[in-house]
Structure formats: structure tokens, C-alpha cells
Amino acid sequence: MVDRCICFSKTFSELKTLAAQHRIRDVAALQTVTEFGRRCGLCKSYVQRMLDTGSTIFPVMAVPLHPFENPELFTELPGDSRRD
């Protein structure tokens, strides 16, 4: 389960309290009040979900593939005779 921004040691509970105090509903606005999500950035989608739902503990979300990791994007070009 995920309950915090690991890079800045901020729990989603702490962030939720700050968001409520400042009436904040989006990640960028919350980042003006406290530091989180500016290193690896993996927590930002969780924080937005926290702002949307009020929950502070989440199952690990699947991370989409980077385009270079998606084999469907690579096709053989006509006339390309190179083989592995």
C-alpha cells in the first residue's frame, strides 16, 4: 500500500490536512504550500486521487510503459532486411 511521498517523507494524511486548511483541490496548488512530488514524481497521481476521494492509503497503481518499452510501437519497415 502507498501512503506517502517517499522522496519528501510527507504522508498523504499530512497533505490532506494542508489541502483542507488551504482549500486546495489540485496537486500544483498543493505544491505551492509544501514540498512533495518534485523528485521522482510518482506520488502526484496518488495525491490527486487523495484530493478527489479523501482516501490517504492506496494500492500500488500500474505505471504505464514508457514509449520505448512498448513493442507495439516498433514495426518492421518495408525493405528492412536487418534481423536479430
Q: Which range is least confidently modeled, 25-34, 49-58, 60-69?
A: 60-69
pTM given for the model = 0.73
Domain ranges of the chain: 4-72
Per-residue pLDDT at 75 exceeds 80: no
Per-residue pLDDT at 82 exceeds 60: no
Q: pLDDT band at residue 74, thresholds of 50, 70 and 90? A: low
* DSSP three-state, residue 26: coil
Q: To 10 degrees, what angle do helices 12-22 and 44-53 make?
A: 60
Dump strand ranges (E) for 1-84: 4-5, 10-11
Residues whose CB is less than 8 angstroms from the CB of residue 17 and which lie 6 or more positions away in sequence, other chains included: none
pLDDT, residue 43, reads: 94
Cβ(57)–Cβ(12) under 8 Å? Answer: yes
**At the top level of CATH, which class does the domain 4-72 belong to?**
mainly alpha
